[in-house]
Structure 1
Amino acid sequence: MWAVYALLSAVFASLTALFAKVGITGINSTLATAVRTVFVLIMAWGMVAITGHGQGLRELSVKSWCFLALSGIATGASWLCYYKAMQTGPVTSVVTIDKFSLVLTMLLAAVFLGEAFNWKTALGAGLITAGTLLVAFAK
């Protein structure tokens, strides 16, 4: 089932890029990020309310709070940079470079989480890197 959610994530991420490019026309990218974040916040808390998982808030450990906070800060920084890049760059190049995060995640997961980084992972990371360079910087 995780693969279905991952595929849906890719579909929604694609729509996010297209909607963002149109939505930031003529406005400051930081303001656009803040407006977008309001809607993400409403949607996320709405899902918590609909699913009835709000009681889990009391069960979060200090470690969970800290790492979720760090994740939120990283997400905010990513979105601010993404919208700034999207405002002036071509969608295809911006999204391609943004998705290079996959390679960075593979490396960081191997180093910090002990996840496998074998020849298949290295080959995939190399191909993604080559594809990123080819698509993002091709003239």
Structure 2
Amino acid sequence: MTSGCVFCAVVAGESPADVVLDEPDLLGFLDRRPVFKGHVLLVPRTHVETLPDLPASLRDPFLEAAQRLATAVVEGLGAQGSFVAMNNTVSQSVPHLHLHVVPRTKGDGLRGFFWPRTRYEDGEAPTYAARLRETLPGPVTGGD
């Protein structure tokens, strides 16, 4: 954990979050300023700043969790698809590796790399987190 890191504080339970995915090495939670409601951030529990810094042992679990979250936004929220993105250093608002999984629907207005933000109404975020948790597939185990 790195002192002063917003996401390390979330991982440590020091800052509140609407958790969607809670696993030994990874945490997924709703973005407080979502592009669209149901926008999830996936972070490694260990403080890692960028994708090149991610330990090899976490590469597959990180991507596998991203796949499951992309499925959950479709099945749990009725989205038609998802937008999955990650910044490294430039435009990275928090210097802790995080992957965005944003629910998408045709005609939703998202164009290019302009990310308008919305807000949850009071008490609405936990409902979105619960809907995603309910449809989030479990971890995939085993090999090829």
The TM-score with structure 1 as length reference comes to 0.30
Name whichever structure is richer in strand by fraction. 2
The TM-score with structure 2 as length reference comes to 0.30
